[in-house]
Amino acid sequence: MRRSAVRSLSLLAAGAAVVSMAAAAAHSAPPGPGAAGTPSKSPVAVGHGGAVSSVDPDASAAGIEVLRRGGNAVDAAVATAAALGVTEPYSAGVGGGGYFVYYDAKHRTVRTIDGRERAPLSAEKDLFLENGKPIPFADAVTSGLSVGTPGTPATWDAALDAWGTKSLGQVLKPAQRLARDGFTVDATFRQQTADNEARFRDFPASAELFLPGGRLPDVGSTFKNPDLAKTYATLAREGSGAVYEGPMARDIVDTVRKPPVRPGSGRVARPGDLRGKDLGAYRVKHQAPTRTAYRGLDVYGMAPSSSGGTTVAEVLNMLENSDLSELSQTQYLHRFIEASRIGFADRGRWVGDPAHEDVPTKGLLSQRYADSRACLIRDDAVLQSPVAPGDPRNPADCGSGGKAAPTTYEGDSTTHLTASDKWGNVVAYTLTIEQTGGSGITVPGRGFLLNNELTDFSFAPADPAVHDPNLPGPGKRPRSSMSPTIVLDDGRPVVALGSPGGATIITTVLQTLTGHLDRGLPLVDAIAAPRASQRNAATTEIEPGLWNSPVRGQLEAVGHAFKQNPEIGAATGIQRLPDGRWLAAAEKTRRGGGSAMVVHPMGMP
């Protein structure tokens, strides 16, 4: 392993002694998920036997429970995801989709599942146009029109069938119990409910579930979802097929085609054209991961339809020739921002669903192409956005051509989890229902929200003369930025991580990786570091920690322009320490802080 990665790991192994003692006390025996025994929350835990890191302590405890019962990382990941469907219903659940990246310790290979939602088979490129013009974005968000065929249940089945050791029914038990018995409402859950209150009130099933007694749930109260408990019981008996055919499938189709709006609300919720044949035709995609070599390490990610793997790889490849460990904070951020700007220019032009588009994945991943783009970066000036894309099929030094495609909006209420087990297997899994609260529409009697994922498509091309690979199409998957990532050293795991945050996911993963691997930050500190996100726009979004720092003025002197974003992403990660222990890390403060747990907490050997 290269020098800076070794330095980072050794620093963390030494520093972990302090936090792992507290982690041992906090997580020596996490109770089962539920309001009666809500586990304590810690952003870091160290020990043996496997680890889980998520945004929620009940969800992490569900994964740990499965590991303690002999399950592997895949079993634990599905259990954690199902529990997040209870406690983080505005971010993920049965009605959404996601991307699953798995490291197989026995064979030292990385595999992936594309469980992204799909457009109806009847969808065309004018899906979001009326009278030739895009409909208002807010109208698309809260509608049946934006609902794609869910992929999450099929992902769970596919992952367990391919690599798990437990049945779907077994791993759903903690989440089913959590939905039945309830969890303790925190400030984040209440605030997210408040942010959706007006929408939820317009849909009776959403109002009944999320506004019990007609009011916002109080912090400290117990929130139950008996309908979701029944849905999980159905999935346990029948498998994920229950979502794609039969009574539940009909309920989903009916809800999309005729959104159940409260009479007199005044809301016009456009119907979608999702049909039974769309659900019946849905399949996940088992596909090869993206891979790039970075300073002697192998970085694996998610191939298109996600743009995460290709863009993370391209930016890392552009930074390959810079010794980021020796740069000042200002110099490091300048190069990181400029490389991200270029990466997003290429993402917007080239990445879409490869089942419908000719995506030059190999070229986007190549070091030759990255070098041809990196030469645009200058230390004493800032590129003017939007930067035009290059051509990965025919790289030319400092070459750009064509019109830049804008970065489409992606909802930031996604969630990410990481899991590992005693055998050395690792999972990085990012899942979503799109923006906070998805479509706002709960399937009556089923206890879960439907996604509004189709708003990730471009509503119309930025330039009619330039092909946009992310326009809607029949059965097409919208482009995503989800970036579950696993890093290996000589075939063995070093770190796995991911984040929510819409298009900022890519920059969050990149900044966390470079902060940890290059800058020597312990993983939990790399996750906590104040973030910058440049997505080929005139301004770079930065969190308050950078906004209020002298670094901002130094970067502005070079030509950067900024706007403040109070919170970017909410990452989780897992690291394999040199002595064989697992370290799980999560956010310290973002989204109320995350939850890192290990099976057997231990301090210094």
517: left (phi over 0), alpha (psi -120 to 50) or beta: alpha
Task: Return phi, psi of residue 131, to 5°.
Answer: 55, 35
Task: Return phi, psi of residue 441, to 5°.
Answer: -105, 115
- The answer to whether residue 359 sits within a structural domain is no
User: Is the separation of the CB atoms in 8 and 516 below 8 Å?
Assistant: yes
In the predicted structure, residue 405 carries a pLDDT above the cut 80: no
State residue 464's pLDDT score.
84
CA dist 191 and 187 (Å) reads 6
pTM: 0.94
Structure-token pair, residue 420: 């590992």
State residue 604's pLDDT score.
38
Give the residue numbers spanning the domain of 244.
3-286+409-601
248: left (phi over 0), alpha (psi -120 to 50) or beta: alpha
In the predicted structure, residue 118 carries a pLDDT above the cut 90: yes
- The answer to whether residue 346 sits within a structural domain is no
Instruction: Give the pLDDT band (50/70/90) at residue 465.
Output: confident
CA dist 303 and 113 (Å) reads 10
State residue 297's pLDDT score.
98
* SS3 at position 306: strand
State residue 12's pLDDT score.
41
Instruction: Give the pLDDT band (50/70/90) at residue 421.
Output: very high
Of the chain, the percentage scoring pLDDT greater than 70 comes to 91
State residue 351's pLDDT score.
97
State residue 17's pLDDT score.
36
CA dist 590 and 565 (Å) reads 12
Tell me the pLDDT tens digit for each residue of 236-290. 999 999 999 999 999 999 999 999 999 999 999 999 999 999 999 999 999 999 9
CA dist 443 and 95 (Å) reads 9
**Residue 292 appears among annotated catalytic residues:** no
- The answer to whether residue 312 sits within a structural domain is no
In the predicted structure, residue 401 carries a pLDDT above the cut 90: no
CA dist 304 and 287 (Å) reads 10
User: Is the separation of the CB atoms in 524 and 595 below 8 Å?
Assistant: no
- The answer to whether residue 324 sits within a structural domain is no
- The answer to whether residue 334 sits within a structural domain is no
Tell me the pLDDT tens digit for each residue of 21-79. 333 333 334 555 555 567 889 999 999 999 999 999 999 999 999 999 999 999 999 99
In the predicted structure, residue 466 carries a pLDDT above the cut 90: no
DSSP-assigned letters across all residues of 412-457: S-EEEEEEEETT--EEEEEEE-SSTTTTS-BPTTT--BPP-GGGGS
Instruction: Look up tokens 């940890």; give the residue.
Output: 516
Of the chain, the percentage scoring pLDDT greater than 90 comes to 88
DSSP-assigned letters across all residues of 116-161: --B--TT--TTTTEETTEEPPHHHHHSSSTTPPBP-HHHHHHHHHH
State residue 572's pLDDT score.
98
CA dist 188 and 181 (Å) reads 20
Instruction: Give the pLDDT band (50/70/90) at residue 407.
Output: low
Name 121's Cβ contacts closer than 8 Å, sequence gap at least 6.
275, 277, 278, 281, 474, 475
* SS3 at position 376: coil
| Count of structural domains, the chain | 1
Q: Which of 149, 311, 414, 455 is catalytic?
A: 414
Task: Give the chain's mean pLDDT.
Answer: 92
Show the DSSP H helices in 258-403 as ranges: 276-281, 308-319, 329-350, 361-365, 367-374
Cβ-based burial of 397 (10 A; exposed 0-12, middle 13-18, buried ≥19) = exposed
CA angle 253, 254, 256 (to 5 degrees): 65
CA angle 531, 588, 498 (to 5 degrees): 60
- The answer to whether residue 388 sits within a structural domain is no
State residue 155's pLDDT score.
98
In the predicted structure, residue 413 carries a pLDDT above the cut 70: no
Closest CA to 192 of 74, 87, 102, 280: 87
Q: What order of strands is seen across the sheet that includes strand 562-564? A: 532-533, 540-542, 562-564
Tell me the pLDDT tens digit for each residue of 498-514. 999 999 999 999 999 99
In the predicted structure, residue 7 carries a pLDDT above the cut 50: no
Tell me the pLDDT tens digit for each residue of 424-440. 999 999 999 999 999 99
Q: What residue type is assigned to position 120 of the chain?
A: P
Tell me the pLDDT tens digit for each residue of 183-238. 999 999 999 999 999 999 999 999 999 999 999 999 999 999 999 999 999 999 99
CA dist 92 and 84 (Å) reads 7
DSSP single-letter state for residue 381: -
Which H or E element spans position 532? Answer: strand 532-533
User: Is the separation of the CB atoms in 388 and 400 below 8 Å?
Assistant: yes
CA dist 562 and 89 (Å) reads 32
State residue 14's pLDDT score.
39
Closest CA to 95 of 36, 170, 158, 152: 152
Q: What is the CATH number of the domain that holds 492?
A: 3.60.20.40
State residue 38's pLDDT score.
72
Which H or E element spans position 226? Answer: helix 226-238
State residue 399's pLDDT score.
72
In the predicted structure, residue 15 carries a pLDDT above the cut 90: no
User: Is the separation of the CB atoms in 420 and 64 below 8 Å?
Assistant: no
Structure-token pair, residue 294: 């970075």
Closest CA to 576 of 417, 416, 423, 415: 423
Structure-token pair, residue 216: 């916002």
CA dist 492 and 144 (Å) reads 44
- The answer to whether residue 268 sits within a structural domain is yes
Locate the DSSP E strands across 227-295. 285-287, 290-294
